[in-house]
Amino acid sequence: MKDSPTGCIPFSVVIATTHPWPELKMTLDSLWSQIQQLHGELIIADGDGNGLPADFATRFPGAIAIQLPGASIFVLRSTGMQRARGQIVAVTEDHCRLSPDWCAGLLESHRMHPEAAVISGSVENGSPDALIDWANFFIAHAPMMGPVKNGEVKDVSLAGAAFKRNALPQEIPRHGVMEMLYIRELSRRGGKLFVNSEISLDHVQSYRFWTTFAVHYHNGRSIAGFRRLKLRPWQLLLRIGSCAILPLFLLSRSGYSVIKKRRFVPQLLLSFPLMTALATCHAAGEVAGYIAGAGKSPTRLS
Cβ atoms of 122 and 145 closer than 8 Å: yes
Instruction: Reply yes or no on whether the pLDDT at 3 is more than 50.
Output: no
**φ and ψ of 56, to 5 deg:** -55, -45
* pLDDT tens, residue by residue, 42-71: 999 999 999 999 999 999 999 999 999 999
pLDDT at 5: 53
pTM exceeds 0.85:
yes
Task: Give the tens place of pLDDT for each residue, 236-266.
Answer: 999 999 999 999 999 999 999 999 999 999 9
Domains belonging to the chain, first-starting first, are 9-128+145-203 (3.90.550.10), 209-300 (no CATH)
pLDDT value at 89 more than 50: yes
What is the pLDDT of the chain when averaged over all its residues?
Answer: 96
- According to the 3-state scheme, what is the secondary structure of the chain? CCCCCCCCEEEEEEEEECCCCCCCHHHHHHHHHHHHHCCCEEEEEECCCCCCCCCHHHHCCCCEEEECCCCCHHHHHHHHHHHCCEEEEEEEECCEEECCCHHHHHHHHHHHCCCEEEEEEEEEECCCCCHHHHHHHHHHHHHHECCCCCEEECCCCCCEEEEEHHHCCCCCCCCCCCHHHHHHHHHHCCCEEEEEEEEEEEECCCCCHHHHHHHHHHHHHHHHHHHHCCCCHHHHHHHHHHCCCHHHHHHHHHHHHHHHHCCCHHHHHHHHHHHHHHHHHHHHHHHHHHHHCCCCHHHHCC
**pLDDT tens digits for range 4-33:** 455 679 999 999 999 999 999 999 999 999
Q: What is the pLDDT of residues 187-230, one digit of tens each?
A: 999 999 999 999 999 999 999 999 999 999 999 999 999 999 99
Residue 119: C-alpha distances to residues 8, 94, 100, 146 (Å): 20, 19, 17, 15
**Cα 280 to Cα 10: distance, rounded to the nearest angstrom:** 43
